[in-house]
Amino acid sequence: MDIPKFIQRNVSLASLTTFKIGGSAEYFVRALNLEILKQSLIWAKEKKLPFFILGGGSNILVSDKGFSGLVIKNELKKLEKRGDIIIAGSGVFLSEFLEFALVNELSGGEFLVGIPGTLGGAVFANAGLSNQFISNLVQSVYFLDYHSLKIRCYLNKDCDFSYRYSCFQEKQGVITQIELKMKNSSQDKIKALMAEYRQKRANLPSLPSAGCVFKNINLKEIPPSSLEKIKKEFGFPEEFCKKGVLPVSWLLDRMGFKGKTIGKAQVSQKHANFIVNLGGATADDVLILISLIKQKVRTKFGLQLCEEIVYLA
Ligand SMILES: Cc1cc2nc3c(=O)[nH]c(=O)nc-3n(C[C@H](O)[C@H](O)[C@H](O)COP(=O)(O)OP(=O)(O)OC[C@H]3O[C@@H](n4cnc5c(N)ncnc54)[C@H](O)[C@@H]3O)c2cc1C
């Protein structure tokens, strides 16, 4: 197969993920600019190869066998400001975006502090904390469509944002640029807010993970019989009713999953919705642990958990 110079072969992916798990990409490219990104997609198309867009690798589990296709590591790093709007390449890390916002005295994104992904990955998953989402800041998203190879601008209302969801999860292509509407503020106020949010995350697991494994569940989506069983077994804090959400970490904690270990993958002792890599965990270890948790929750409460993490296989 003729391979363009910018594409590498058999690149290990484990070190490019926060889980530190997984095999190699058969083909791999660092998309440093739009031109390389486009050329890579064209090449994958010509060769009929599947492709995967990799941001910070902080929400994915890569198969032990790796990926027989092209992994495109998004490194589009533009960062500009126009008044109170920040225009950012999708490969900009949230930490880089927050630093830029701080220097320019632009507030609004502080709740994203400590989330180890890129802006593209954050928009894809509508990342956030409690009831704050990146969608609250997004003004528009530029998306390179795999089929037409054209870039289309999506206004916030076109992105169908909801809890951990955006329309980009249904599309083939790449989020290339995001425009975020900020508020003018002062460095002191922004630093204080960031410190507050950092404090909230102080007890999160520090071992390698991919963040929360499962999505929290909207109370409206829980069958009444399941809710009754949960209430009978564990009681039900009033605040969950107020927020209208069942935090999966609470349920898994009550069910005694903390510390449950398969191979070198463990349900974190600090947070029951995190699976951590104790060192040398395989993707299979994690997958077995995930299916065991799902099966027990289904059998006991008739409730189907949905993964927040994305599988790359
Ligand atoms: C310690 C820890 C704490 C975390 N805390 C939080 C939290 O508080 N809130 C939260 O919401 N999440 C949290 N996460 C999960 C994760 O950081 C976020 O979901 C983040 O937004 C993922 O971004 P990423 O760039 O790492 O995406 P990746 O993991 O690289 O990719 C995830 C998915 O997004 C797609 N994708 C990425 N970039 C693009 C793009 N440019 N175009 C199209 N598709 C793209 C990928 O193809 C993949 O399907 C946490 C993770 C860890 C490890």
pLDDT tens profile 7-31: 999 999 999 999 999 999 999 999 9
What is the average per-residue pLDDT within 47-70? Answer: 98
Q: 187-200 and 94-103 helices cross at what angle (nearest 10)?
A: 150
The structure's pTM equals 0.98
Å from CA of 212 to ligand 1 middle:
11
Output the residue whose Cα is nearest ligand 1's atom 34: 121
Å from CA of 120 to ligand 1 middle:
8
Q: What is the average pLDDT value for the chain, to the nearest integer?
A: 97
Show the ligand 1 pocket: residues with CB < 6 angstroms. 18, 52-60, 74, 90, 115-118, 120-122, 124-125, 127-129, 168, 174-175, 204, 209-211, 310
Residue ranges, comma separated, of all CATH 3.30.43.10 domains in the chain are: 8-74
What is the average per-residue pLDDT within 75-83? Answer: 98
Print burial letters for 179-209: b (CB count within 10 Å at least 16), e (below 16).
bbbbeebeeeebeebbeebeeeeeeebebbb
Identify the pLDDT of residue 1.
Answer: 76
What is the average per-residue pLDDT within 75-101? Answer: 98
Q: What fold, for 217-312?
A: 3.90.78
Output the residue whose Cα is nearest ligand 1's atom 20: 117
Looking at domain 79-200, which of 3.30.460.80, 3.50.50.60, 1.10.150.80, 3.30.465.10 is its CATH number? Answer: 3.30.465.10
Looking at domain 8-74, which of 3.30.43.10, 3.30.565.10, 3.40.50.1110, 3.40.190.10 is its CATH number? Answer: 3.30.43.10
Q: If pLDDT is split at 50, 70 and 90, which confidence band does 79 have?
A: very high
Residue ranges, comma separated, of all CATH 3.90.78.10 domains in the chain are: 217-312
Residue 76 CA: nearest ligand 1 atom is: 41
183-184/173-181 β-pairing: unpaired
Å from CA of 97 to ligand 1 middle:
15
What is the average per-residue pLDDT within 235-263? Answer: 96
Q: If pLDDT is split at 50, 70 and 90, which confidence band does 224 have?
A: very high
Kindly tell me the burial class for residue 120, based on how many C-beta atoms sit within 10 Å of its own C-beta (0-12, 13-18, 19 or more).
Answer: buried
Output the residue whose Cα is nearest ligand 1's atom 4: 211
DSSP letter for 165, please: B
Probe ligand 1: pick from 15, 33, 59, max atoms within 8 Å of CB? Answer: 59
In the chain, what percentage of residues exceed pLDDT 90? 99
What are the strands, taking DSSP E only, across the chain? 8-12, 24-31, 51-54, 60-62, 67-74, 79-82, 85-89, 106-107, 128-129, 132-133, 138-145, 151-155, 173-181, 183-184, 217-218, 245-246, 261-262, 265-267, 275-277, 310-312
| Residue 154 clears pLDDT 90, i.e. is over it | yes
| Residue 205 clears pLDDT 90, i.e. is over it | yes
Å from CA of 49 to ligand 1 middle:
23
